[in-house]
Structure 1
Amino acid sequence: MSVLKIVILFTSLLHSLIEAEVIYNGSSTAKDDWWKHTAFYQIYPRSFKDSDGDGLGDLNGIISKLQYLVDAGITATWLSPIFKSPGVDAGYDISDFRDIDEKFGTMSDFDRLLKAAHDLGIKVILDFVPNHTSDQHVWFQLSKNRTKGYEDYFIWKKGYNSTTPPNNWVTRFGYSAWEYVAERDEFYYHQFTTSQPDLDFRNPKVVQEMNDVLTFWLDKGVDGFRIDAIPFIFEHPDFKDEPLADDYQNYKPYEYKYLKHIYVRDQPESIDMIYQWREVVDNYQKQKGGDTRVLMSEAYSRVNIIMQHYSNGTVEGAHFPFNFFVVTDTRYNSTANEIISPIKKWLQNMPSGHVANWVLGNHDRDRVATRLGVENADGYNMLIALLPGVAVTYYGEEIGMENGAVTWEEGQDPKACIGPKEDYLRTTRDFERTPFQWDSTVNAGFSTANKTWLPVSSQYKTNNLELQSKDGVKSHFHVYQGLMKLRKEDSFVFGNLNIEALDTYVLAFTRELVGNDTYAFIFNKGNYSSTVSLSPFKSVTGNVTVVLTSSNSTRNAGDTLPSGRITMDAHEAIVVKSPSNVSV
Structure 2
Amino acid sequence: MEKNWWKESVIYQIYPRSFNDSNGDGVGDLNGITEKLPYLRELGIDVIWLSPVYKSPNDDNGYDISDYRNIMDEFGTMADFDRMLEEAHKNGIKIMMDLVVNHSSDEHEWFKQSRTSKDNPYRDYYIWKKGKDGQPPTNWGAAFGGSVWEYDEQTDEYYLHLFSKKQPDLNWENPVLRQEVYDMMRFWLDKGVDGFRMDVINFISKDTDYPEGEVEYGLPYGNGSKYYMNGPRIHEFLQEMNREALSGYDTITVGEMPGGSVEQGKLYTGESRKELNMVFHFEHVGIGDGKYGKWDPMEWKLTDLKKIFTKWQKGLENDGWNSLYWSNHDQPRAISRWGNDSDEYRVISGKMIATCLHMMQGTPYIYQGEEIGMTNVKFDSIEEYRDIETLNAYRDLTPEFLSHDEIFKGIHERSRDNARTPIQWDDSPNAGFTEGTPWINVNPNYKEINVEAALEDKDSIFSYYQKLIQLRKQNEIIVYGTYDIILEDDEQIYAFTRTLENEQLLVICNFSKETPEFGLPEGISYSTKELLISNYEVDTNQPIEQLRLKPYEARVYRLKK
1:337 & 1:536 partners in 2: Cα distance? Answer: 21
The Cα shift of 1:271 comes to 3.2
1:410 aligns to what?
Answer: 384
Alignment pair present for 1:357 and 2:323? yes
Is residue 128–residue 228 contact of structure 1 (8 Å, CA) maintained in 2?
Answer: yes
Is residue 444–residue 460 contact of structure 1 (8 Å, CA) maintained in 2?
Answer: yes
Is residue 534–residue 540 contact of structure 1 (8 Å, CA) maintained in 2?
Answer: no
2:457 & 2:125 partners in 1: Cα distance? Answer: 57
2:544 aligns to what?
Answer: 563
Is residue 530–residue 540 contact of structure 2 (8 Å, CA) maintained in 1?
Answer: yes
Q: Deviations over 1:505-547 (max 9, x none)?
A: 112223333465x4322111123112223344524356x4433
2:281 & 2:150 partners in 1: Cα distance? Answer: 33
Alignment pair present for 1:109 and 2:109? no
1:190 aligns to what?
Answer: 161
The Cα shift of 1:363 comes to 1.2
Q: 1:152 aligns with which of 106, 121, 124?
A: 124
1:121 aligns to what?
Answer: 92
Provide the TM-score with structure 1 as the length reference.
Answer: 0.85
Give the secondary-structure state (helix, strand or coil) at the position aligned to 1:284: coil
1:315 & 1:513 partners in 2: Cα distance? Answer: 26
The Cα shift of 1:351 comes to 7.0
1:21 aligns to what?
Answer: none
Bigger shift: 186-195 or 142-151? 142-151
Is residue 439–residue 445 contact of structure 1 (8 Å, CA) maintained in 2?
Answer: yes
Is residue 38–residue 390 contact of structure 1 (8 Å, CA) maintained in 2?
Answer: yes
Alignment pair present for 1:271 and 2:252? no
1:64 aligns to what?
Answer: 35
Is residue 51–residue 98 contact of structure 2 (8 Å, CA) maintained in 1?
Answer: yes
For 1:381, give the aligned amino acid: A
1:23 aligns to what?
Answer: none
Alignment pair present for 1:520 and 2:506? yes
Alignment pair present for 1:309 and 2:268? yes
The Cα shift of 1:420 comes to 4.0
Alignment pair present for 1:211 and 2:197? no
Q: Deviations over 1:350-375 (max 9, x none)?
A: 27333333121111111111112234
Q: 1:572 aligns with which of 534, 537, 553?
A: 553
Bigger shift: 518-527 or 137-146? 518-527
2:153 & 2:491 partners in 1: Cα distance? Answer: 61
Which residues of 2 match residues 124-523 of structure 1 at below 5 A? 124-146=95-117, 148-160=120-132, 164-244=135-215, 248-249=216-217, 252-254=219-221, 258-259=222-223, 261-285=225-249, 292-303=250-261, 304-311=263-270, 315-329=273-287, 337-350=303-316, 352-374=318-340, 375=345, 376-406=349-379, 407-421=381-395, 422=398, 425=408, 426=410, 428-449=415-436, 451-472=437-458, 474-488=459-473, 489-501=475-487, 503-514=490-501, 518-523=504-509
The Cα shift of 1:253 comes to 1.3
Q: Percent identity?
A: 36
Give the secondary-structure state (helix, strand or coil) at the position aligned to 1:109: helix
RMSD (Å) for aligned C-alpha atoms: 2.3
2:198 & 2:501 partners in 1: Cα distance? Answer: 38
- From the superposition, tell whether residues 491 and 266 of structure 1 become closer, same or farther in structure 2 (CA, over 3 Å): closer
- From the superposition, tell whether residues 282 and 259 of structure 1 become closer, same or farther in structure 2 (CA, over 3 Å): closer
- From the superposition, tell whether residues 73 and 52 of structure 1 become closer, same or farther in structure 2 (CA, over 3 Å): same
The Cα shift of 1:338 comes to 3.1
The Cα shift of 1:263 comes to 2.1
1:240 & 1:498 partners in 2: Cα distance? Answer: 42
1:237 & 1:179 partners in 2: Cα distance? Answer: 18
- From the superposition, tell whether residues 145 and 351 of structure 1 become closer, same or farther in structure 2 (CA, over 3 Å): farther
The Cα shift of 1:322 comes to 1.5
- From the superposition, tell whether residues 29 and 205 of structure 1 become closer, same or farther in structure 2 (CA, over 3 Å): closer
- From the superposition, tell whether residues 202 and 281 of structure 1 become closer, same or farther in structure 2 (CA, over 3 Å): closer
1:234 & 1:535 partners in 2: Cα distance? Answer: 46
Bigger shift: 377-386 or 505-514? 505-514
Give the secondary-structure state (helix, strand or coil) at the position aligned to 2:169: coil
For 1:443, give the aligned amino acid: N
2:295 aligns to what?
Answer: none
Is residue 151–residue 158 contact of structure 2 (8 Å, CA) maintained in 1?
Answer: yes
1:521 & 1:167 partners in 2: Cα distance? Answer: 49
Is residue 486–residue 521 contact of structure 2 (8 Å, CA) maintained in 1?
Answer: no
Q: 1:546 aligns with which of 507, 531, 545?
A: 531
For 2:372, give the aligned amino acid: I
Provide the TM-score with structure 2 as the length reference.
Answer: 0.89
Q: Deviations over 1:258-299 (max 9, x none)?
A: 5353323321212332222222344322xxxxxx21211001
2:292 aligns to what?
Answer: none
- Structure 2 unmatched runs, 5+: 290-297
- From the superposition, tell whether residues 559 and 352 of structure 1 become closer, same or farther in structure 2 (CA, over 3 Å): closer
1:24 aligns to what?
Answer: none
Is residue 142–residue 164 contact of structure 2 (8 Å, CA) maintained in 1?
Answer: yes
2:300 & 2:120 partners in 1: Cα distance? Answer: 56
1:174 & 1:333 partners in 2: Cα distance? Answer: 25
1:481 & 1:191 partners in 2: Cα distance? Answer: 39
For 1:347, give the aligned amino acid: Q
Is residue 307–residue 351 contact of structure 1 (8 Å, CA) maintained in 2?
Answer: no
The higher radius of gyration belongs to: 1
2:303 & 2:160 partners in 1: Cα distance? Answer: 42
The Cα shift of 1:330 comes to 7.3
- Structure 1 unmatched runs, 5+: 1-27, 286-291
Bigger shift: 531-540 or 454-463? 531-540
- From the superposition, tell whether residues 334 and 238 of structure 1 become closer, same or farther in structure 2 (CA, over 3 Å): closer
- From the superposition, tell whether residues 124 and 504 of structure 1 become closer, same or farther in structure 2 (CA, over 3 Å): same
- From the superposition, tell whether residues 378 and 74 of structure 1 become closer, same or farther in structure 2 (CA, over 3 Å): same
2:224 & 2:53 partners in 1: Cα distance? Answer: 33
Q: Deviations over 1:441-470 (max 9, x none)?
A: 111111111x21111101111111211221
2:288 & 2:147 partners in 1: Cα distance? Answer: 31
The Cα shift of 1:499 comes to 2.7
- From the superposition, tell whether residues 506 and 470 of structure 1 become closer, same or farther in structure 2 (CA, over 3 Å): same
Q: Deviations over 1:233-278 (max 9, x none)?
A: 122212222232xxx12x5214xxx535332332121233222222
Q: Deviations over 1:319-373 (max 9, x none)?
A: 1111433433479965554333122211332273333331211111111111122
2:5 aligns to what?
Answer: 34
Is residue 310–residue 351 contact of structure 1 (8 Å, CA) maintained in 2?
Answer: no
For 1:497, give the aligned amino acid: Y
Q: Which has the higher contact order (CA 8 A, sep 6+)?
A: 1
1:529 & 1:459 partners in 2: Cα distance? Answer: 28
1:229 & 1:118 partners in 2: Cα distance? Answer: 28
Q: Deviations over 1:169-200 (max 9, x none)?
A: 22111211111112111111111111111111
Is residue 439–residue 460 contact of structure 1 (8 Å, CA) maintained in 2?
Answer: yes
For 2:307, give the aligned amino acid: S
The Cα shift of 1:314 comes to 5.4
The Cα shift of 1:151 comes to 1.9
- From the superposition, tell whether residues 484 and 216 of structure 1 become closer, same or farther in structure 2 (CA, over 3 Å): same
